[in-house]
Amino acid sequence: MVAQREIRQIVCGGCLGYGFDKDIFLAGIGRKRPDYITYDCGSTDPGPYYLGEGVCYIPKIAAKIDLDIALSAGIPNKIPVILTTAGGSGANVHLNFLLNVIRELAKERNLRFKVATIGAEIDKEWLKREAKRQVIQPLGPEKPLTVQEIDRSTRIVAQMGVEPIMKALETGAEVILAGRACDEMAGCALPMLKGFDKGLAHHMGKILECGSQCIERARGRRSSVFGILREDHFLIEPADLESKATVESVTKHCAYEERNPVYIEGPGGAIDASDAKFEQLNDRVVKVSGTRFKKADQYTLKLEGAAFVGYRTIIIGGNRSQEMIDIIDWCLEDTIAKTHDFFKDVPKEDYKIYFHVYGKNGVMGEREPVVKTKSHELGIVTEVVAKTQDLADAVAHFVAGTRLHHMDYPGSLNRSCGNMAFMSSPLEFQNKAYEFNIHHLLVVDDPCALFPIAVHQVG
């Protein structure tokens, strides 16, 4: 009897630098040797600053701890390690950051191996020519991409599909380090290279993209998960023997970050799960079958660009006066009016004031359905974005340190010592402010053309 052909993936955790259980990971590898190890290394979730400024949102120490576990298990056992969206945002600077961390680990652990890097940063002059050819489509409510918006962006990346990663695997590199990539591509590249079904491979990669988010964890910590792909189905199985995958846990994650969990669009086409079948194989394992990949008429890549907006100053304070809490909206409106009056010689368009009132509507803002504030205290975050850092500091200082802190208001019992308890000294936190200004689809003929591959010997 011929054994059914299969390929085994183990995903370390949800995202590099957030940690995963080392003991569970190593025990899983020993018990059910995988054919490849995957780890997503980034996201747009932390916002545009990291792409715009060219820094990694994952601290180096944390990234190194996670990579040490993955590489120390993969390299000696000849198990390929596939890492995508390097350094958090996937531009060249982020790719080089993580490559240098890998070099350090190779030296420290006395490992020698090949790394194939895949760039994902887009040349702005080339993109301007493409924009003029009108092969770039708005994604969602965005306006058509203009040359001016391309110039505003400090960095632009394209979210690669599976083809560049497959091409990098063909170099024989033990580690694949890709720039910005669609989340499921780390999981489906090697199976597709080996001839497995495209729809099932993509679907398995999608479910496993966030690690143990698709299972019911018996222990609180993040842990690794297996995806076992066969001819006509795949299995989702926790590496932790005490945890379990259920039909509910797997199907819930299919809806994660998707407007349609049955038809999940990506580079080159879509995962069509309209006929997918989810079965509880045993108390720990879920079997998925019936998924198809529907090829798109055009191959499109999502573009992400970040543009500099201004300089930001933040001051965090707290208030526990019930009288002020009861009229906090009036207090904030009055503060903005008096700030504009104090800085009357400064154009209003040179700075913007934002309040984030935690305990009232700090999370939902204007969408908060609870009208009446029930908190006994409020956390008031004053945020100012201005053309210069000096102006941002000055406005924030006046708003929080002068106006709110020493504010007279109806019912006030304290007219000398102040109304705010500030979190830190110094009061101000400063950084640059960016926005995502490019969120568009680029039509391409060759899915690999924009993603250069280079092979590095490390260790």
CATH code of the domain in which 409 resides: 3.30.70
Q: Cα dihedral sign for 63, 205, 191, 234?
A: positive
Specify the DSSP class assigned to residue 333. Answer: H
Residues 88 and 194 both lie in one domain: yes
Residue 415: its pLDDT value, please?
63
CA distance linking residue 320 with residue 412, whole number of Å: 12
CA distance linking residue 421 with residue 330, whole number of Å: 20
Residues 6+ apart with CB under 8 A from 367: none
Q: Which of 451, 440, 431, 442 is nearest to 47 (CA)?
A: 431
Q: Residue-wise pLDDT tens for the chain (459 aa)?
A: 334 599 999 999 989 999 999 999 999 999 999 999 999 999 999 999 999 999 999 999 999 999 999 999 999 999 999 999 999 999 999 999 999 999 999 999 999 999 999 999 999 999 999 998 878 988 877 788 999 999 999 999 999 999 999 999 999 999 999 999 999 999 999 999 999 999 999 999 999 999 889 999 887 668 999 999 999 999 999 999 999 999 999 998 888 888 888 999 999 999 999 999 999 999 999 999 999 999 999 999 999 999 999 999 999 999 998 889 999 999 999 999 999 999 999 999 999 999 999 999 999 998 999 988 889 999 999 999 999 999 999 999 999 988 888 888 887 776 667 888 999 999 999 999 999 999 999 999 999 999 999 999 998
Residue 220: its pLDDT value, please?
65
Domain count, the chain: 2
**Please, what is the Cα angle at 337 between 331 and 339, to 5 degrees?**
100
Residues 316 and 204 both lie in one domain: no
Residues 271 and 354 both lie in one domain: no
- Indicate whether 450 belongs to any domain: no
Instruction: Answer whether 452's CB lies under 8 Å from 167's CB.
Output: no
Residues 109 and 239 both lie in one domain: yes
Domain boundary pick from 237, 267, 296: 296
Residues 270 and 375 both lie in one domain: no
- Indicate whether 148 belongs to any domain: no
Q: Which of 193, 21, 355 is nearest to 201 (CA)?
A: 193
Residue 341: its pLDDT value, please?
96
Residues 166 and 241 both lie in one domain: yes
Residue 275: its pLDDT value, please?
95
Domain boundary pick from 296, 330, 352: 296
- Indicate whether 448 belongs to any domain: no
Domain containing 429 equals 306-437
- Indicate whether 393 belongs to any domain: yes
- Indicate whether 126 belongs to any domain: no
Residue 383: its pLDDT value, please?
97
Residue 27: its pLDDT value, please?
95
Residue 412: its pLDDT value, please?
77
